[in-house]
Amino acid sequence: MLDLSPFPPIDWPRFRAVRQVLPGPVEPDIVTAVQREITRVQHLISPGKTYAVGLGSRGIANLAVVAKTAIDEIRARGADVVIVPTMGSHGGATPDGQKAVLASYGITEASMGARIDARMETEEIGQQNDGTPIYFSRAALELDGIIPINRVKAHTAFHGPIESGLAKMLAIGFGKQRGAAAVHTRGFDHFHHVVPEVAAFIIEHLPVAFGIALVENGHEQTALVRAVAADAILQEEPALMQKSREWMARLPFDHLDVLVVAQLGKNISGDGMDPNVTGRYGPANAAYPGPTIGKIVVLSLTEETHGNANGIGLADSVSRRAYDAIDWPTTYTNALTSTEFNPIKTPMVMANDRDAIEVALRTINGTDPAHTRVLIIRDTLHLEDMAISEALWDDAATLGLTPLNEWADLTFDTSGTLHSAAGVLLS
C-alpha cells in the first residue's frame, strides 16, 4: 500500500449533515395494494395450473412482502406457484448462488411457503431479428404459466422508453446466464430496441399471464404497485418508467470535486453505485446527463452483494477493506455476461478509508484541499441525509437543503475507517 506520510500534510475540509426533500408518493399498505392488483387480473389465473413466479432483481423495497402476498393470492384462486430466480448471471451463475441472493432479500422456501427451482439450464425458444438465439429458463418452461415481479426503473447502461422492469426480466432475467449473455452480445447501444423485441417474442410464444410492476419514490419506498396483463406490458411500461424517472432521488449538486460513496453493491444498483445518480456509466461510449464529479471514492462493499464488485471500476480510489471484500470470480462472471469490463477495472487501492479520501483531495487540481467541494453519501439509494463540505454550503442553502448540525472534522477510528460523517451513518 502507498504510504502517504512522506507527502506534505494537507488541511481537510470540515463537514456538516444536510437533508434534502425527496420526490414521490408512498404506497401506505403494500399487502392491500398487491391484493387489489391481483384481483384486477384474477381472470388470467387458471385454477389447477402452476405458475413460475420470477423474482431476483436487486434492492427492491418490500420485495419479500410483495412476493409472499402475490403467492398467497394466486393460491387463493386455485393455482400453485414455483419461484424461479430471474437474475441472469447473478449469484455467480450457480443455483446455490442465486438462492443465496434471494435469501438475502428475505425470500426462502420457508418464508414464502413455495418451492424455489434455481436450475440454470435453459432452452432455445427462438431467435432475435439478427439471428441471435433467445434462451429461457427450463424450470419456467416446465410449468403452466409465467408471472414476473420486478421494479420499473432507469437502467444503468442504456436509456429508452423501456429500461429495467417486466420486459427486461422476461428478456434477460429468465434467460439465466446463457440467455443474458446472448442478449448482451448485441451491445448496450441496441438495448433500447433489443429488450422490447425479445420481450415481445416471449409474450407472443410463451404463457406469460401477467406481471407485477413496482415503482419506487425518492426514498426507495414502494410508491406504486401495478399488475399488468401480458399483452399490455410493452404498452404500459413506458408510462411507469416515466413515473420512476420523475420520482428518482438525485444528488442535489451539478458539480463536485469529490464524491465519497460509503458502500457499493449489487443490492444498491446493477453497477454497484447507480450511474443515473453519479453520472458515471459503465459503457465507455455512454454519454447521459449527470453531475460532473472530479474523483469518486468507494469505502466498502455491502454484505448483500456477496463479493460482486461490479461498478468498482467507476471509482478512482477505494479502501483496502473494499478491495479485500471482492469475490473476483463472481465479479468477472457478471462482467463477462454483460460484455462490459470498465465497471470491474481496479482503481487506486489505499490502506484505509482515510487514505482513499486523502488521495482524492490531493488530486483536485487548482483547489486547496480544505476548500474542495466534497459530498459524502451512504450509497446511491440513500440520498436524503448526506454530509457536505464547507465549499458546498452556499449552493446547499440556495437549493433549500436543511442543515442538521454544525461544522465538524471527519473522525476515523484507529484503523482509519470512517463509520459516520458529520452524524450521517455510513452503513
Please count the other Cβ atoms lying within 10 Å of the Cβ belonging to residue 328.
11
Q: Could you give the CA distance from residue 136 to residue 177 in angstroms, rounded to a whole number?
A: 10
Q: pLDDT (tens digit, 9 = 90+) per residue, 393-426?
A: 999 999 999 999 999 999 999 999 999 999 998 9
Q: How far is CA 360 from the centre of its chain?
A: 25
Q: Is the pLDDT of residue 152 over 80?
A: yes
- Regarding whether 195 and 74 lie in a shared domain, the answer is yes
- Regarding whether 284 and 212 lie in a shared domain, the answer is no
Q: Considering the domain boundaries, does residue 7 fall inside one?
A: no
What domain count does the chain have?
2
* Residue 172: HSE in the Cβ half-sphere, 13 Å Cα cutoff: 26
Q: Considering the domain boundaries, does residue 8 fall inside one?
A: no
Q: Could you give the CA distance from residue 201 to residue 37 in angstroms, rounded to a whole number?
A: 25
Q: Considering the domain boundaries, does residue 5 fall inside one?
A: no
Region at 144 (left for phi over 0; alpha for psi -120 to 50; beta for the rest): alpha
Question: Residue 270: which domain range?
Answer: 15-22+249-425
Query: How many helices (H) does the chain have, and how many strands (E)?
Result: 14, 18
What per-residue confidence (pLDDT) applies to 93? Answer: 84
- Regarding whether 256 and 154 lie in a shared domain, the answer is no
Cell numbers describing residue 106: 428475505
CATH number at residue 117: 3.40.50.11440
Q: Write down which residue in 231, 247, 263 finishes a domain.
A: 247
Provide the residue type at 190 as one letter. Answer: H
- End-to-end, the C-alpha distance of the chain in Å comes to 25
Q: Could you give the CA distance from residue 374 to residue 368 in angstroms, rounded to a whole number?
A: 12
Q: Considering the domain boundaries, does residue 117 fall inside one?
A: yes
Q: Considering only CA atoms, which of 338, 46, 328 is closest in space to residue 175?
A: 338
Q: pLDDT (tens digit, 9 = 90+) per residue, 284-314?
A: 555 566 799 999 999 999 998 999 999 999 9
- Regarding whether 308 and 238 lie in a shared domain, the answer is no
- Regarding whether 165 and 282 lie in a shared domain, the answer is no
What pTM was computed for the model? 0.79
